[in-house]
């Protein structure tokens, strides 16, 4: 079968079919592109899936054949900052200026925080279960340390 294409007035593809099993329909909304993939069986409609990507190519919406949806949001650096998956679980993430993930929480009540050194290595980790860990780095190797050792290192860094 030859590929069948349809275009809008701006020359963008709005329909594509290159086999008997799939049809692709494209809608454009600003920088977002929504693709509706129609699955065919014996040339007849079977089911469809819908996905939307933003102008940076990030998947921001997806609906599967059962109608379950997933939504995602990204910051200006392309970091995933919010997601609700198709089972209704949500999570949020925050990043520092170097794009290191510094805070995470989800709808189940789980949460964690991280601190990084000037080389973007994790030096402190804490989660909502009460676990807390401190690290120092020697020759690119992570070494666990006590909280008091960590506080001493932080004081030394502040003096610099």
Find, among 92, 85, 121, the residue nearest to 109 by Cα.
92
Q: What is the pLDDT of residue 160?
A: 62
Q: How many angstroms separate the CA atoms of 131 and 147, rounded?
A: 12
pLDDT single digits (tens) 54-73 = 999 999 999 999 999 999 99
Q: What is the pLDDT of residue 150?
A: 84
Q: What is the pLDDT of residue 75?
A: 95
**CB contact set of 116 (below 8 Å; sequence gap of 6+):** 96, 98, 100, 102, 122, 123
Q: Give the position of tokens 């995602």.
A: 72
Work out the widest C-alpha separation in the chain, in whole angstroms. Answer: 74
pTM: 0.78
In contact, 43 and 51? CB cutoff 8 Å? no
Q: How many angstroms separate the CA atoms of 139 and 112, rounded?
A: 26
N-terminal to C-terminal alpha carbon distance within the chain: 70
Q: How many angstroms separate the CA atoms of 112 and 34, rounded?
A: 34
State how far the alpha carbon of 83 is from the alpha carbons of 79, 89, 142, in Å: 11, 8, 30
Find, among 39, 38, 18, the residue nearest to 26 by Cα.
38
Task: Please count the helices (runs of H) and the strands (runs of E) in the chain.
Answer: 1, 14
Tokens at 15, concatenated: 């329909």
Average pLDDT of adjacent 10-residue blocks, the chain of 160 residues: 90 90 92 94 91 95 95 96 95 96 95 93 93 91 89 77
Q: What is the pLDDT of residue 2?
A: 82
């Amino acid at each position: 079968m030859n590929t069948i294409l349809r275009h809008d007035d701006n020359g963008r593809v709005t329909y594509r079919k290159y086999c008997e099993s799939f049809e692709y329909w494209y809608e454009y909304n600003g920088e977002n592109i929504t693709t509706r993939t129609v699955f065919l069986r014996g040339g007849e409609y079977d089911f469809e899936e819908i996905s939307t990507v933003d102008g940076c190519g990030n998947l921001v919406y997806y609906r599967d054949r059962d109608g379950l949806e997933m939504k995602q949001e990204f910051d200006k650096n392309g970091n995933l900052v919010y997601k609700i998956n198709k089972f209704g679980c949500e999570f949020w993430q925050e990043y520092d200026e170097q794009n290191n993930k510094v805070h995470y929480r989800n709808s189940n009540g789980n949460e964690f925080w991280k601190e990084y050194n000037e080389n973007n290595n994790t030096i402190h980790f804490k989660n909502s279960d009460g676990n807390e860990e401190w690290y120092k780095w020697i020759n690119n190797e992570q070494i666990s340390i006590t909280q008091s050792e960590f506080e001493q290192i932080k004081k030394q860094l502040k003096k610099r």
